[in-house]
Amino acid sequence: MVARSNREYQTLANVDGEEDPLVATNDDIPDIPLKGNAKFLLLKLSISFFIFGLINNVLYVVILSAALDLVPSATPKGLILLFNIFPSLLAKAFWPYISRGRVRYGKRIVAGLIMGVGGIVTVAAFEKVYARLFGIGVASFASGLGEMTFLQLSTTYNPPQVAGRSLGYFASGTGAAGLVGAFLWWEVRGFGVRTGVGISAVLPFITPLTYIFLLPHSSSFSSTSISTSVAYTPIPSIVLDDGDHQAEEVENPQDDFSSVPRQSRRHTLTVKDKWRLVRPLFVKFMLPLFCVYLFEYTINQGIAPTLLYPVPSPEEHWIVSKIIHSIRDYYPLWQLVYQTTVFFSRSTISLGIPPITSRFLSMPAIIQFCVLVVLGLESATGLFESGNGTMNHLTESWEGASVAIVFLLISLEGICGGLAYVNVFYHVNQFPMRDDVDAELAKQEREFQIGSIGFADSLGILCASLLAIPTELALCRAQVGRGKMLCKAV
């Protein structure tokens, strides 16, 4: 097997961004020198992180899917979105800065279990709106803390291909949560809100069971089964003076359930250290993630509800007519298309598709903005209609052509959103550990860096929720102004 050169693993550019990282891609995983049962360990690792992503995000989707049933009709549904996003944003924005020392993964997972189950049980047990909103908020905080925790956990595995694999499968699990959550609520909603939501409260118990019984220890890869001859190059941008550069053994993250030696707690990142670490990440990683989610959820919540067309006739559109039976079916269709493409695009790393290079991480956001503009114009002006209401070069009726084009654009929206998520976190996951500082401190740096950028997507969703309501109202007024009354009939 041909050994890889050090250049493959050159790290992130300096603060000025003069150089892009060349990191190992997930499709390199089959070339890892495997020993013993390493293939089985990789399978267990992949399944574990897929489950982490799936279970951590599925309750978020269940709550959004159940929004119409959770509160009275007079209560704005955007209130549920706010309570389902804002606590998660708080967890991602502030927890990396207030936590000290290495991450206690076992304790975090147990805390997330308690909060997640407690929040869902509160939603199921009480009928008062304020009680249910409180429960949603608690579950949201648990979800945000959980996502940050598992992203950080992925950095504890070496060599970098293994860390990238864990990140890729976690992202794939979060993508699957959209489809699984919507399907789950569809199946249990017949039991009523209390029973249906209560049933979903058993899901968080899967996470600690997976963590304890299925997830391989990081030492399984670094010390016994996989060669670690791959070279690391230290990050050249930041030097932390900790006064002691003696190397320490990197402990298993799962050792949280047992006693932890005091010696491993000697070095912690200060707030000043964390600020110097996070500063280079704002423009290159956080801004693209924020923009993608801002545009994405503005489309989903503000534009997609107004993308309505006459019910297709079986004679002209026999396939679409089997899906669309009333104008109310369009929005669920757009959401299904979106969730499906998000799942596949978030799974690209786990499928062995090479990641987007870091210099092109902003491309999904740029494309997403173009999709937003085109869909907004279609909703407001009927962009895909010709002057006489036909598009003969595409189909016999402009309604069918419009539905087909919107279908493709919504698919592109989901692809851009999923690619932005998995690629941004993948590149940060691949930052190598520095060898010029204490090993424990270097480990904390990687954990903090990937944990610190997670708030960008939640902030984008929150801002989109504020823009969505006036956007939807304005587009509906524009449609009524040109004689299209469908948005008033929903």
Per-residue confidence (pLDDT) for residue 186, from 0 to 100:
85
Is the per-residue pLDDT at 466 higher than 80? yes
Per-residue confidence (pLDDT) for residue 15, from 0 to 100:
35
By percentage, how much of the chain surpasses pLDDT 70? Answer: 80
Per-residue confidence (pLDDT) for residue 380, from 0 to 100:
96
Tokens of residue 439, six digits? 């090993």
Per-residue confidence (pLDDT) for residue 16, from 0 to 100:
39
Per-residue confidence (pLDDT) for residue 325, from 0 to 100:
87
Per-residue confidence (pLDDT) for residue 445, from 0 to 100:
95
Domain boundaries, the chain: 19-221+250-279, 281-419+469-489
pLDDT digits (tens, 9 = 90+) for 213-237: 999 999 888 654 554 443 333 333 3
pLDDT digits (tens, 9 = 90+) for 167-197: 999 999 999 999 999 899 888 888 887 888 8
- 74 CB-near residues (< 8 Å, 6+ apart): none
pLDDT digits (tens, 9 = 90+) for 42-101: 999 999 999 999 999 998 888 877 776 777 766 776 788 789 899 999 999 999 999 988
Q: How far apart are the first and last CA of the chain?
A: 62
Per-residue confidence (pLDDT) for residue 185, from 0 to 100:
87
By percentage, how much of the chain surpasses pLDDT 90? Answer: 58
Q: Rounded mean pLDDT of 193-205? A: 89
> Tell me, which fold does domain 19-221+250-279 have in CATH?
Growth Hormone; Chain: A; (1.20.1250)
pTM attached to this predicted model: 0.84
pLDDT digits (tens, 9 = 90+) for 267-321: 789 999 999 999 999 999 999 999 999 999 999 999 999 999 998 888 777 777 8
With bands split at pLDDT 50, 70 and 90, how would you rate the model's confidence at 33? low
Tokens of residue 174, six digits? 């979060």
Q: Rounded mean pLDDT of 203-207? A: 97
Pick 119 or 312 by higher pLDDT: 119
